[in-house]
Chain A
Amino acid sequence: MIEDPISFEVIKNALISCSREMSQALRQTAFSPNIKERRDCSCAIFDSEGKLVAQSKDIPVHLGAMPMSVKTCINKLNHELVDGSMALVNDPYSGGSHLPDLTLVAPIFSRGERVAFTANRAHHADIGGESPGSMPGLSTSIHEEGVLIRPRIVGKDFLLKKNLVKDVLSETRTPDERLGDLSAQVAANNVGRKRLAEVAETFGWEKLTSSFTDLRQYSTHMMKQAILTYYRKSADFTDYLDSDGAGNWNINISVKIAIEEGGVQVDFEGTSEQVSGNVNCPLASTLSSVYYVFIALFGQDIPVNEGCWSVINVRVPEGSLLNPRYPAAVSAGNVETSQRIVDTTLGALAKIVPDRVPAASQGTMNNLTIGGIDPRNGSMFSFYETIGGGAGARKGMDGASGIHTHMTNTLNTPIESLETEYPLIVRRYSIRRGTGGKGKWVGGDGIVREIEVLSDRCTISIQSERRMSAPWGLGGGEDGETGRNFLMLDQRAHSLEAKSTIVVPKGTIVKIETPGGGGYGPPPT
């Protein structure tokens, strides 16, 4: 099947290390803590058609979605993508995820021919819109969430051209930081281009590009074999989002999975129509979530590239929650709905592959944004974080506590960094004991995080889930406990909705309790 297995292995490793080097360059040169401390960014290499060839191991929700952004740039800009150019995009309706995630795409040429692309995606701490941090709790249209960037050329001669992003910068609250982070994204693509050229020097571009195809075929083959173990099995499942922040509750996601000769059919027919709030999930993020599940379940040792999902056929009705039309609000779709898509898909697969699917994990990222004026220097600040929770238990293994699961893997900001940089104090950061679902194997516990604001008129935005419907247990295991959000002022606690934006006085403590994971198997009596 593979003609030269040895070169194959060597090239595969070289391509992965190339993506990893890009990622490292991006983190080291970036300016915002969200990229440098929390590592909210990802890098990858694509063939001349925009198909994924190799990627860094960063944030799952970025990685599965980037190929659509690259293909969109090729379709829209084609001839403008000349040697040395770079294209920027964040459009959630054609390959983007949510507005803060900016994707920068760069073509690679050999002897006048476009042979490959590198691309990277980074979550910028502010991209304009109505609330600081551009992660509003209650938006109902994309225009409230920030600047929408359709594919456009922003770089020439391997450098960022400031005048081509002037309009974007003028919309954000922190233009200097944006420029710094965008330069870092340029640097990552340049590192990728140089490194690929070195690999090509050894093997020749012809062999390298043909190995792109080999790699894809290899992954397709491996993935197909793994999935076809469950040939002719099928199952369905429905799970629910709590709310969209705009008056819609219990929003359903429904899936039917069938394993057939050519691969697996994943059909979201019957899922809710798109909603007015911001939990609509762009198609690229939807696909990314489904791909994540299949790679994690069937392909842990298979190199991740487009070949993995050529055997996964996903059908998502247009205009639905998971494939919304412009100008639907989407800011929580990528971070919250993506987690529920994983839960739903795993829920169905648990009926097909019962022993290997874990109970539901926390099913949210608990996005918290705090912005305002820093009294220490009078300038604007915007702090964004996501908070870990309980992982679901699986057969033979308890769930981990206080950890990021499924579609994200960002780090926390160290408390000593956070308190030095922002007018905030962390009062409590602890495991929320006993919140994992009981079972033969218990779910992981959530986290309790309390942050006090030291500045007046701070805007707090929360996008969270699993505040009503609990992360489910499996095989007789109990559900994990739901999460809760509070404001505490003058010793009194006030409950907050799962999606909130609120302005608070100095001395207010925002308290987030994240959900526990589901248990597995009947608990001992």
Chain B
Amino acid sequence: MLDIRIQEQAHTSQVFISRKFVIHLFEMKIIGVDVGGTFTDIILTCTTTGEQYVHKVQSTPQSQDLAVLRGVEEILEQHSIKPDDIRLVVHGTTVATNAMLERTGARVVLLTTSGLEDVLEIGRQNRDEIYSLEATRAKPLVEREDRIGVNERVSAHGEIVTKLTNEDVRDVEKAVDMRRPDSVAISLLFSFKNQIHEKRLLESLRVSSESYIVASSEVLPEFREFERTSTTVLEAYLGPLVVNYMKRLDNAITKLCPNGRLTVMQSNGGTMLASQAQGRTIGLAISGLAGGAIGGWEIAKQNDMDRVITLDMGGTSCDISAIHGQIVVRPDNEVGGLPLRVPSVDVKTIGAGGGSIAWVDDAGILHVGPQSAGAVPGPAAYGTGGEHATVTDANLILGRLNPDYFLGGRVSLDVEKTNSAIENIASTLRMSIQESALGIIKISTANMVQAIREVTVERGIDPREMVLIPFGGAGPTQAVDIADALRIDRILVPPYPGITSAMGLVCTDLRVDLMQTLLIGACRENETRLLSVLKQLSADGRSKLIDQGAASGFRNIWKIDMRYSGQSHELIVDIPYECDDLVSESIKRFEDLHDDSYGYKLPERDIEWVTARAEVVAVSEDFKTLRYTETTVAEPVALRRVLMNDGTYQKSKIYRRWELAVDQIVTGPSIIEQLDTTTYIGQDWSAEQKANGALLMRRNEH
């Protein structure tokens, strides 16, 4: 029997839900803490019993660790859990992302091959917008006077053309010393072919300087000098800040939970020990986004679904990920206009949330977003000063949201303020309030549909075959509209849509990705070299995981980036681990993949091995599925007139999520309300409450 208690405290927006099961002794307890723009979500789970507790505290953007610590302390206290029982705290943070977006990182000195000091500034020499008279691009993170040319040169084949002398090294030391930077980034041409000069500088500077020092051949041993340099600079830029944050939090957590280790979610969807962030902080660039995709995927797996679209729709943004059999980790990313060559979980973020603002242009065309009313002033309905009509306001007009039970009654919605905000739009459009509200939902839906198309159709994936997993506070309210537009016929709503990202943290694997660029022909004479690089990378990866406390159960994966000689973009080819015929195996797989992706092969062309990649994963204990046992069939708590997409009103049944019985089927139009979200079941849909807590919605067959 599920036990839900809701507590409201007057002065904060704290809410917690707890789920109680029989508690076993000696189990391992894990805490996940996910920091969002408005709330910091905490989940506490037990790996043997599946027991879960959930808590939310207001985020503290100036110093994220304050809310993290408070949340952890409170959840322990509220459920009388001994801090000693906590073995692991997994953290998803936006510290690095925010530092990039807000440009609050370290002062960096950059060392480059002489003559190429401005590569960082010129970038790829293109501009962001083509029809713009102001050509602009992101400003480099290092000022010109802090970029120092080093008299050295390595050729395309890794031979030393101009040797770095002792005198050169001393000059560099002096130049760095004069500038007294927080950190130093070293990125020399072709260092991925031969790192001897970078190493030399790295070693001598580590002796002569107190700064945070990193070299491109360690951060990103890959070709394309701008992307490598930019990534290395980012590591230097984020390093001091992120490492300090991690140290501070790690100490505090250790004090609080003496048996607990603090790990942190990386962009690639694996975790690492917070105490080992040194030199690897760019791996945390989108730490805060990966958890959502993983949480959604975990729910999918529990329900035996292997092709899903996760849609995490909050107040200001919507994070979308298309998952096809496994979470996709892409080799690059971009944050705030800065390219980042680190493996990242494939998440697309757009400015579309419950707070997105509706507006009308000069020709009378309705738009929604990307501007958002955010939490402050918020949608008009919040009555906290927002005057613009938002998606949340439109949902209130349609009757999908309950003014008295928004976030479980925590926020009461002001229907009058909403009416007048939508009325402004309606009079400009010369439409009724109802038509305008429907229009806002349709356009907001279209924006999300467009983003989903980009991660599915544009990559050759048919969304119609997939299951939509909506979560975040606003996702389940609009899921049927999105599914209808994409002709998706199944939607799976997680048990706790509002904390799915935090849940993602506690079911994450430990993981390391390593790579080495080779740029050599795919032939017998190079096979030994490739094999030894792959083996070395895997061994390095395993030892890194052992440092983090993993003991066994390693999964090793090999991949090679390959191309036809003369091409400049590669396909990433999966290779069986410890494959004993790298040449034939990789060539066959590459040609098949090329044919599959592009529709042709070029049998007479030479093929190249560009980059060797090894991934090592220590698989986490299976996250225990929730057991939900309610047997009494729920009756609607109310009936409400809800405006359908065809413009008619229908009496819709209103249910409370945790009153539904297992296997109970609710037919649309209905609305299921719960503390952290409202699920709208459209006219042609029905929903089934499952024993694992998820709600499965299906489009009715005609």
- The answer to whether A296 and B131 have CB atoms under 8 Å apart is yes
Q: Within the complex, which residue of A28, A404, A447 is in contact with B597, where a contact is CB–CB below 8 Å?
A: A28
Interface string of A19-33 (1 = CB under 8 A from B): 011001001110101
Contact residues in B for A399 (Cβ distance below 8 Å): 135
- The answer to whether B122 and A412 have CB atoms under 8 Å apart is yes
Instruction: Select the stretch in B84-92, B317-325, B566-574, B657-665 that faces chain A.
Output: B566-574
Q: Does A206 contact B (CB under 8 A)?
A: no
Shortest C-beta distance, B93 to chain A (Å), equals 32
Q: Does A91 contact B (CB under 8 A)?
A: no
Q: Within the complex, which residue of A195, A292, A400, A419 is in contact with B127, where a contact is CB–CB below 8 Å?
A: A400
Instruction: Select the stretch in B95-103, B357-365, B413-421, B532-540 that faces chain A.
Output: B357-365
Q: Does A286 contact B (CB under 8 A)?
A: no
- Residue in chain B with minimal CB distance to A418: B156
Q: Within the complex, which residue of A9, A33, A410, A430 is in contact with B117, where a contact is CB–CB below 8 Å?
A: A430
Main secondary structure of the interface of B (DSSP, over half): loop
Q: How far is the CA of A210 from the CA of B366 in the complex (A)?
A: 20
CB neighbors of B among A333-373 (8 A): 346, 356-358, 361
Instruction: Select the stretch in B46-54, B393-401, B451-459, B494-502 that faces chain A.
Output: B451-459
- The answer to whether B598 and A187 have CB atoms under 8 Å apart is yes
Q: How far is the CA of A60 from the CA of B457 in the complex (A)?
A: 26
- The answer to whether B121 and A402 have CB atoms under 8 Å apart is yes
CB neighbors of B among A402-434 (8 A): 402-405, 409-412, 414-417, 419-421, 426-431, 433
Q: How far is the CA of A402 from the CA of B598 in the complex (A)?
A: 35
Q: How far is the CA of A416 from the CA of B442 in the complex (A)?
A: 47
Contact residues in B for A426 (Cβ distance below 8 Å): 115-116
Q: Does B166 contact A (CB under 8 A)?
A: no
Q: Within the complex, which residue of B135, B225, B363, B454 is in contact with A400, where a contact is CB–CB below 8 Å?
A: B135
Q: Does A221 contact B (CB under 8 A)?
A: yes
**Interface residue tally of chain B, by bracket?**
35 or more
- The answer to whether A37 and B568 have CB atoms under 8 Å apart is yes
Contact residues in A for B224 (Cβ distance below 8 Å): 414, 416-417
Instruction: Select the stretch in A324-332, A386-394, A478-486, A493-501 that faces chain B.
Output: A386-394
Contact residues in B for A58 (Cβ distance below 8 Å): 130
- The answer to whether B117 and A403 have CB atoms under 8 Å apart is no
CB neighbors of B among A425-482 (8 A): 426-431, 433, 444, 447, 450
Q: Does A209 contact B (CB under 8 A)?
A: no
- Residue in chain A with minimal CB distance to B364: A1
Q: How far is the CA of A299 from the CA of B129 in the complex (A)?
A: 13
Query: With A17-B450, A414-B226 as given contacts, are A391 and B122 in contact (CB-CB < 8 Å)?
Result: no
Contact residues in A for B134 (Cβ distance below 8 Å): 358, 391, 394, 397, 400
Q: How far is the CA of A296 from the CA of B134 in the complex (A)?
A: 9
> How many residues on chain A are close to B (CB under 8 Å)?
80
Contact residues in B for A29 (Cβ distance below 8 Å): 598-599
Q: Does A401 contact B (CB under 8 A)?
A: yes
Contact residues in B for A20 (Cβ distance below 8 Å): 458
- Residue in chain A with minimal CB distance to B366: A5
Contact residues in B for A83 (Cβ distance below 8 Å): none
Kindly name the residue among B119, B156, B365 whose own CB sees the greatest number of chain A CB atoms within 10 A: B156
Contact residues in A for B156 (Cβ distance below 8 Å): 416, 419-420
Contact residues in B for A411 (Cβ distance below 8 Å): 124-126
Contact residues in A for B454 (Cβ distance below 8 Å): 17
Contact residues in A for B458 (Cβ distance below 8 Å): 17, 20-21, 24
Q: Does B155 contact A (CB under 8 A)?
A: yes
Q: Within the complex, which residue of A9, A28, A180 is in contact with B367, where a contact is CB–CB below 8 Å?
A: A9
CB neighbors of B among A202-239 (8 A): 218, 221-222, 225
Q: Does A109 contact B (CB under 8 A)?
A: no
Interface string of A24-57 (1 = CB under 8 A from B): 1001110101001100000000000000000001
Query: With A9-B443, A225-B362 as given contacts, are A401 and B568 in contact (CB-CB < 8 Å)?
Result: no
- The answer to whether A361 and B363 have CB atoms under 8 Å apart is no
Contact residues in B for A37 (Cβ distance below 8 Å): 568
Contact residues in A for B136 (Cβ distance below 8 Å): 400
Contact residues in B for A183 (Cβ distance below 8 Å): 600
Q: How far is the CA of A433 from the CA of B147 in the complex (A)?
A: 14
Contact residues in A for B137 (Cβ distance below 8 Å): 400, 403
Query: With A28-B598, A183-B600, A403-B125 as given contacts, are A2 and B364 in contact (CB-CB < 8 Å)?
Result: yes
Q: How far is the CA of A187 from the CA of B126 in the complex (A)?
A: 26
Interface string of B133-158 (1 = CB under 8 A from A): 11111000000100000000001100
Kindly name the residue among B137, B144, B429, B566 whose own CB sees the greatest number of chain A CB atoms within 10 A: B566
Contact residues in A for B63 (Cβ distance below 8 Å): none
Contact residues in A for B597 (Cβ distance below 8 Å): 28
- The answer to whether A1 and B363 have CB atoms under 8 Å apart is yes
Shortest C-beta distance, A244 to chain B (Å), equals 27
Contact residues in A for B405 (Cβ distance below 8 Å): none
Q: How far is the CA of A411 from the CA of B431 in the complex (A)?
A: 47
Contact residues in B for A447 (Cβ distance below 8 Å): 122, 125
- Residue in chain A with minimal CB distance to B119: A429
CB neighbors of A among B9-27 (8 A): none
Query: With A28-B569, A402-B125, A420-B156 as given contacts, are A409 and B116 in contact (CB-CB < 8 Å)?
Result: no
- The answer to whether B450 and A431 have CB atoms under 8 Å apart is no
Contact residues in B for A36 (Cβ distance below 8 Å): 567-569
Q: Does B519 contact A (CB under 8 A)?
A: yes
- The answer to whether B131 and A299 have CB atoms under 8 Å apart is yes
Q: How far is the CA of A433 from the CA of B446 in the complex (A)?
A: 46
Shortest C-beta distance, B334 to chain A (Å), equals 15
CB neighbors of A among B426-444 (8 A): 429, 439, 442-443
Query: With A295-B131, A394-B134 as given contacts, are A429 and B116 in contact (CB-CB < 8 Å)?
Result: yes
Contact residues in B for A401 (Cβ distance below 8 Å): 121
- The answer to whether B362 and A429 have CB atoms under 8 Å apart is no
Q: Within the complex, which residue of A14, A417, A428 is in contact with B116, where a contact is CB–CB below 8 Å?
A: A428
- The answer to whether A60 and B361 have CB atoms under 8 Å apart is no
- The answer to whether B365 and A2 have CB atoms under 8 Å apart is yes
- The answer to whether B131 and A221 have CB atoms under 8 Å apart is no
CB neighbors of A among B487-544 (8 A): 519
Contact residues in B for A431 (Cβ distance below 8 Å): 118, 121-122, 144
Contact residues in A for B132 (Cβ distance below 8 Å): 296, 300
- The answer to whether A187 and B599 have CB atoms under 8 Å apart is yes
Shortest C-beta distance, A400 to chain B (Å), equals 5
Q: Does B474 contact A (CB under 8 A)?
A: no
Q: Within the complex, which residue of B121, B133, B429 is in contact with A5, where a contact is CB–CB below 8 Å?
A: B429
- The answer to whether B225 and A416 have CB atoms under 8 Å apart is yes
- Residue in chain A with minimal CB distance to B125: A388
Q: Does B189 contact A (CB under 8 A)?
A: yes
- The answer to whether B446 and A13 have CB atoms under 8 Å apart is yes
Contact residues in A for B365 (Cβ distance below 8 Å): 2, 5, 8-9, 218
- The answer to whether B363 and A221 have CB atoms under 8 Å apart is yes
Shortest C-beta distance, B274 to chain A (Å), equals 34
- Residue in chain B with minimal CB distance to A419: B156
Contact residues in B for A357 (Cβ distance below 8 Å): 133
Shortest C-beta distance, B52 to chain A (Å), equals 40
Q: How far is the CA of A88 from the CA of B602 in the complex (A)?
A: 23
Shortest C-beta distance, A305 to chain B (Å), equals 13
Contact residues in B for A144 (Cβ distance below 8 Å): none
Q: Does B245 contact A (CB under 8 A)?
A: no
Q: How far is the CA of A26 from the CA of B367 in the complex (A)?
A: 31
Shortest C-beta distance, B142 to chain A (Å), equals 13
Known pairs A299-B131, A411-B125; list 12 more (Cβ under 8 Å).
A6-B442, A20-B458, A59-B130, A221-B363, A304-B131, A387-B125, A394-B133, A394-B134, A412-B122, A416-B189, A420-B156, A428-B116
Q: Can you identify 16 A-B contacts, CB atoms within 8 angstroms?
A: A5-B365, A9-B443, A10-B446, A27-B569, A28-B569, A36-B568, A391-B135, A394-B133, A400-B134, A402-B118, A403-B122, A404-B126, A411-B126, A415-B119, A419-B190, A444-B135
B→A interface (CB under 8 Å): 115-119, 121-122, 124-127, 129-137, 144, 155-156, 189-190, 223-227, 361-367, 429, 439, 442-443, 446, 450, 453-454, 457-458, 519, 564, 566-569, 597-600, 602
5 closest residue pairs by CB, A with B: A388-B125, A428-B115, A411-B124, A430-B118, A391-B135
